[in-house]
Amino acid sequence: MIPERLQFLTNDDLPPMELSRVFDEAGHDLYLVGGSVRDAFLGREVVDFDFATDARPEQVVRILRTWADGVYEVGAAFGTVGARKNGHTIEVTTYRSEAYRDDSRKPTVTFSDDIETDLSRRDFTVNSIALALPGLEPVDPHHGLSDLAAQTLRTPLAPQISFGDDPLRMLRLFRFQASLGFKPDPSAIEAVREAAPRLRIISSERIRDEMSKLMVTPAPGDALRMIVDTGLADQFIPELPNLAMEQDPYQRHKDVLAHTFAVVDKTKPSLVLRLAALLHDIGKPETREFGPDGVSFHHHEVVGARVARRRLMELRYPREIVDDVSQLVYLHLRPHTLDMGWTDSAVRRYVRDAGHLLEPLNDLVRADVTTANPARERAIQGRIDELEDRIAILSEKEELARLRAPIDGHEVMEYLGLEPGPLVGEIMQRLLDRRIDDGPYSSSDAYREVREWALGRGMDDPGPPPESEEE
């Protein structure tokens, strides 16, 4: 009898039943495997479906082409063929075993002829459960169902073997800890401590993808702590463990690493925002100084932005993510520098510098408040409230989101008879600074500013400004 929580898989609108008939007609077995099975037993939504079969990749391609809307052979060399059917993504993988050997960044893949061997080479027992199709009978040689009930992450084989075969599983252990809320088995944690340096043979792109998935889980802080404690972080963000600095003997300064994880957990699950939260204080160890008033970290946001950029580029993050995260790290202290209140010009400059990152920057600044002193927290949050109020008020009067001078560079060049170059950039910056400092002004005033600047540099008098309408 099929358990109630698996009944939905018998729906012919979903791939399992129909695809199993197609493979059966071709003379091959088919099993539903991996995260699809795990999530089905946990009562979680299953959108994408993973299958395993005794058919070899070239046979899988031929079978899928008779059934799917589209077939993708990118992973066929490693035994995996992808397809799309009625809006569902599926992957069909030939029974296999794979391993990373020595310093190779690519696994050695061999195909097998039985589902049990295939399940033994998977990462964790909760992902090593198969459902034989079409009857949905469980195949669970490594007691994954028991581990699902116990909410435990354990490897099918000895963890030293599993992590040796694919070192990325060490990072995946903590990703599943964060996404499922399960606890890693102590033997797995100890194996990570021993094998952590082997993560270096994994490509930056694969490490990046695992970290990205971890960072957008509901609360990644505890898993990130384990990544540091086991030595994994040393392999790709070596500055992160250095945040566990000794407390300041003068002001009992908090453990910066614990603060960092608290900030990550307080932010929204946006990849850019979470990465910025993880790296926002990454420049503190390099800038730490002790003085008569205690510890200081002058310009740690400048150093941090540089470190964040370097590490994210090494992990092959897209340029736009690198730029956005490093800018958030650079700006995260800006609101705290204005204890005396927000002038109009300060608000305009803040909005201009934040650009499209204004909302995530404000979110990061709020999350950065982890003090145990209620009065101090109220004071800091009050300053952020004041800033957001000032932005709202000014936005009603001005186009804060589109701060620019009344005239553009082409008009300046035509008026002064200049070619494109540094001089044009200099005067445009002067016009923008006036817009930020003084608020909106007319194009006539802008031309007068340009004329004054030109005469001050000894240039020929450009004459009266062109006729222009007042703003």
Predicted confidence (pLDDT) per residue in 374-394, tens digit = 887 787 788 888 888 888 878
Residue 293: pLDDT band with limits 50, 70, 90: low
Mean pLDDT is lowest, of 192-201, 293-302, 382-391, for: 293-302
pLDDT for res 98: 64
Average pLDDT over residues 170-188: 97
Task: Give the pLDDT mean for 310-316.
Answer: 97
d(CA 147, CA 163): 19
Confidence of residue 102 (pLDDT cuts 50, 70, 90): low
Q: Is 99 a residue whose pLDDT tops 80? A: no
The residues, any chain, with a CB within 8 Å of residue 175's CB and separated by 6 or more, are 210, 213, 214, 217, 223
Say yes or no to pLDDT of 294 above 80.
Answer: no
Spatial contact of 365 and 384, defined as CB atoms under 8 Å apart:
yes
**Percent over 70 (pLDDT), the chain:** 92
For residue range 54-86, what is the model confidence (pLDDT) as tens digits?
999 999 999 999 999 999 998 888 899 999 998
Mean pLDDT score, 277-282: 95
User: What is the reported pLDDT for 225?
Assistant: 97
pLDDT at residue 103 is higher than 70? no
Beta strands 80-85; 108-111: pairing state? unpaired
Of 51, 54, 223, residue with least CA distance to 133: 51
Per the CB < 8 A criterion, the answer to whether 295 and 248 are in contact is yes
Could you read off the pLDDT of 241-263 as tens digits, one per residue?
Answer: 999 875 544 344 468 899 999 99
Task: List phi, psi (to 5°) of 428.
Answer: -65, -35
Q: Which residue has the higher pLDDT, 292 or 92?
A: 92
DSSP string, 44-106: ----SEEEEESS-HHHHHHHHHTT-SEEE-TTGGGTEEEEEETTEEEEEEESEEEE--TT-SS
* 467 vs 143: which has the higher pLDDT: 143
**How far is the C-alpha of 401 from the C-alpha of 449, rounded, in Å?**
24
The predicted model scores a pTM of 0.82
- The contacts of residue 118 (CB under 8 Å, 6+ apart) are 33, 52, 93, 95, 96, 97, 112
In contact, 141 and 120? CB cutoff 8 Å: yes
User: What is the average per-residue pLDDT within 330-344?
Assistant: 74
The lowest-confidence range among 66-80, 120-134, 193-207, 303-317 is: 66-80
Per-residue confidence at 202, pLDDT binned at 50, 70, 90?
Answer: very high
Q: What is the pLDDT, as a whole number, of residue 286?
A: 82
Distance CA 354, CA 327 (A): 8
**Largest pairwise CA distance in the chain:** 93
pLDDT value for 77: 84
- pLDDT value of position 2: 79
Which tens digits make up the pLDDT trace of 396-415? Answer: 767 676 777 888 889 889 88
Residue 355, SS3 per DSSP: helix
Asked if 147 contacts 22 with a C-beta cutoff of 8 angstroms, the reply is no
- In which band, very low, low, confident or very high, does the pLDDT at 341 lie, cut at 50, 70 and 90? low
Give the length of the chain. 471
Cα 290 to Cα 243, 285, 294, 363: the distances in Å are 16, 12, 6, 30
* Angstrom distance (rounded) from CA 336 to CA 245: 23
Tell me the sheet residues that pair with 30: 53
- Confidence class of residue 272 from pLDDT cuts 50, 70 and 90? very high
Q: Three-state secondary structure along 419-471?
A: CCCHHHHHHHHHHHHHHHHHCCCCHHHHHHHHHHHHHHCCCCCCCCCCCCCCC
Query: Taking the CA of residue 118 as centre, how many other CA atoms within 13 Å lie in the half-sphere pointing to its CB?
Result: 25
Task: Please name which of 140, 47, 27, 43 lies closest in space to residue 87, comparing C-alpha atoms.
Answer: 47
Residue closest to 41 by CA, chosen among 165, 152, 130, 116: 130
Q: What share of the chain in percent tops pLDDT 90?
A: 57
Using pLDDT thresholds of 50, 70 and 90, give the confidence band for residue 101: low
Q: In the prediction, which pLDDT does 166 show?
A: 92
In the predicted structure, residue 470 carries a pLDDT above the cut 60: no
CA dihedral (171, 153, 75, 214) positive or negative = negative
Percent of the chain as helix, strand, coil, to the nearest 5 = 55, 10, 35
Instruction: Give the pLDDT mean for 84-96.
Output: 92
Average pLDDT of the chain to the nearest whole number: 88
Q: Are 245 and 255 in contact (CB under 8 A)?
A: yes
DSSP code for 292: T
